[in-house]
Amino acid sequence: MRSNHRIEVALALAALLGSTACSSQSSQAIPQPATVANHRGSPSGSSRSLTMWLASPTGGGFHFNGIVEAFGLGGGTPTQIPSDTIEQGQPYINFNPAGLTSPYYLALDPSGNMWIADTFTNFILAFSTTSSPPKMIPTTALVLPDKAQPEQIAFDKNGNLWVGQVQYRPPNMQFVSAYSVSSGTPTLINGSGITTWTTPEGGSQPFYGVDVAFDPAGHLWAETLDQNTGRQVLAEFNVSNPSAPQQIPSASIVLPQATFGSFAFDASGNLWISLIVPVTGGSCGGPNLVSEYSTTNGSLLTSFSTIQDCAFAMAIDPSGNLWVDGSSTPNGSAPFIFTEYALPSGKLLQNVTAIDYDVSSIVFQQ
C-alpha cells in the first residue's frame, strides 16, 4: 500500500480538481495493433525489440507535472524515444482541464494499448502505442465514481481491467474492482468488487489495499492490511469468473514488518517483493530488500539488498532481469537511482544515470 504520495496532497486536491468531468464521446472500438512485436521501440540496428515504459508522477519536478516516457532496450541500455513521450498539456487530453497530472500506474492490455492511472484526477486513460506520440483513445476515458482515486491497474487473461482504488470520502475505503473494456468503453463488472478478505487465521476483515498483479496462472494477487496484526499480506484470488472473485486463504503470504513497495512475478510463478525497512526519523532506510517467495507454500526463497534506500517501483523484463527505481536517501527524496539486477542472484547489472527522477510504474512491451 503506497500511502506516501497521497496524504500530503489529499486536502488540496478537493479544492484544485473540483468536479472535473469527462466530456461525452461517441462509442468506438479500441484500435487493435496488428502485432505488439512490431512496436518501433528499439534503437537502430538492435537485434531485439523491447520497449520500457516509465511513469513519473512528478516528471522530476513538482506534483501535477507527470510524464510517461518510452525507452528502447534493444541494445541492453535504455535509450529514450522522445517522440513517444506522453506529458501534461498535450491536446489529446483537452477534455481534462488539469491535463495528465499524476500518472502513477501503467498497464498494457492484450492488444498492446497503454492504460494510465492518472491518480489525482481520478482518471484512467488508454493510448494506442502504434502512433508516435501515442494517441489517446477517447472512449476509454474512465472517471471513477465518488472521486475514488485509481492506483495500481492490471489486466487479466481475458482483457478485463482490474483497478485498486482509494475512496477518501466516507466510508473511506480501499478496494479492488474490475471493468470490461471489450466494447471500447470501460464498464464495471457487477460483483467484481473485492471489499473483504479472509485472514490466514480464518477471520473476515474489510479489504484495505490498492496494489494488484497477476501471476502466470492468471490468479490475482492483492496487497492488503491485517488490522489485527498490523502486517501487510498478499492475498490470492481466483478471478476466472470476474463477477465472483474467490480468495484462496491458504495461499496468503504474510510480509515482514516493513513498508511494502511493489511486487512482480517471474516466469516460473515465484513472487518478488520490494520491502522498505523503516528507520527512526525517516519514512524508509537501508537496506531496501528484494525478496523472492514461493507462491506454492509461501516460503521465503532468497533476498538481496538494493542500492536504493527507498525503492517503490520494480518490474521483471522478458529476459528475467529485475528493474528497480527508488531514492538514494532515507526520506524518499531525490536523487533517484534506476538499476537493473540479475535474478535470482541480485547481481547489479547496470545503474542507469540518465533516469534520475521518481518512477512509480514500469512496464515492458515487445
CATH number of the domain residue 299 falls in: 2.40.10
Does 135 lie in the same domain as 2? Answer: yes
**31 located within any domain:** no
- Calculate mean pLDDT across residues 197-225: 93
**In a domain? residue 248:** yes
Q: Is the pTM of this model over 0.85?
A: no
For residues 365 and 115, what is the distance between their CA atoms, to the nearest angstrom? 13
Average pLDDT over residues 159-168: 92
Model pLDDT, residue 7:
27
Same domain, 81 and 96: yes
* Whether residue 1 has pLDDT greater than 60: no
pLDDT value, residue 51: 93
Who has greater pLDDT, 170 or 8? 170
Q: Which residue has the higher pLDDT, 320 or 143?
A: 320
Q: How confident is the model at residue 89 (pLDDT cuts 50, 70, 90)?
A: low
- Do 250 and 262 have their domain in common? no
Q: 488540496: which residue's cell?
A: 12
Instruction: Say if residue 246 is in the same domain as residue 157.
Output: yes
Average pLDDT over every residue of 187-208: 93
pLDDT score recorded for residue 273: 92
Q: Do 246 and 282 lie in a common domain?
A: no
pLDDT at 16 over 60: no
Contact status, residue 351 vs residue 338, Cβ threshold 8 Å: yes
Start-to-end C-alpha separation, the chain: 29
* Least confident span in 87-96, 194-203, 357-366: 87-96
Q: Is the pLDDT of residue 219 over 70?
A: yes
Q: What is the band of 64 on the pLDDT scale with cuts at 50, 70, 90?
A: low
On the question of pLDDT at 279 being above 60, the answer is no
Distances in Å between the alpha carbon of 84 and those of 46, 232, 268?
A: 18, 37, 32
| 64, 118: one domain | yes
Q: Are 268 and 133 within one domain?
A: no
Q: Say if residues 125 and 116 touch (Cβ distance below 8 Å).
A: yes
Looking at residue 262, its pLDDT comes to 87
User: What is the per-residue DSSP string for 241-283?
Assistant: STTS-EE-GGG-EEPPSSEEEEEEE-TTS-EEEEEEEEETTEE
Domain end point (choices 231, 254, 277) = 254
- pLDDT tens across 333-361, in order? 777 889 999 999 999 999 998 888 889 99
Position 172 in a domain: yes
Q: Is 28 a domain residue? A: no
Give the confidence band of 94 by pLDDT, cuts at 50, 70, 90: very low
Give tens-digit pLDDT for 24-52: 333 333 333 222 232 333 333 333 479 99
Are 291 and 241 in the same domain?
no
Residues 188 and 114 in one domain: no
Residue 215 near residue 196, CB atoms below 8 Å = no
Q: Does some domain include residue 23?
A: no
Which of 58-62, 92-96, 235-239, 293-297 is predicted least confidently?
92-96
Strands 336-341 and 348-352 come out as antiparallel
Task: Say yes or no: 110 and 182 in one domain.
Answer: no
Does residue 126 have a pLDDT over 80? yes
pLDDT of res. 99: 55
Asked if 267 and 247 sit in the same domain, the reply is no
pLDDT averaged over every residue in the chain: 79
Q: Do the Cβ atoms of 102 and 66 come closer than 8 Å?
A: yes
Q: How far is CA 2 from CA 62, 260, 262, 276, 352, in A?
A: 18, 7, 9, 11, 24
What's the total number of domains in the chain?
3
Same domain, 279 and 327: yes
Assign 152 a pLDDT band (cuts: 50, 70, 90): very high
Q: Contact, 79 vs 352, CB < 8 A? A: no
- Of 117, 143, 169, the residue that ends a domain is 143
Give the residue among 271, 260, 174 at the shortest CA–CA distance from 221: 271
Give 156 or 333, the one with higher predicted confidence: 156
- Over residues 240-258, mean pLDDT: 89
pLDDT of residue 5: 45
Candidates 59, 181, 169; CA nearest to 109 is 181
Q: Are the beta carbons of 218 and 157 closer than 8 angstroms?
A: yes
The mean pLDDT of 243-265, rounded to a whole number, is 87
Q: Which of 89, 123, 143 is the last residue of a domain?
A: 143
pLDDT of residue 97: 43
Give pLDDT, residue 277. Answer: 67
The three-class DSSP label of residue 121 is: helix
Calpha distance 10→6 (Å, rounded): 6
Q: Residue 315's domain spans which residues?
A: 257-359
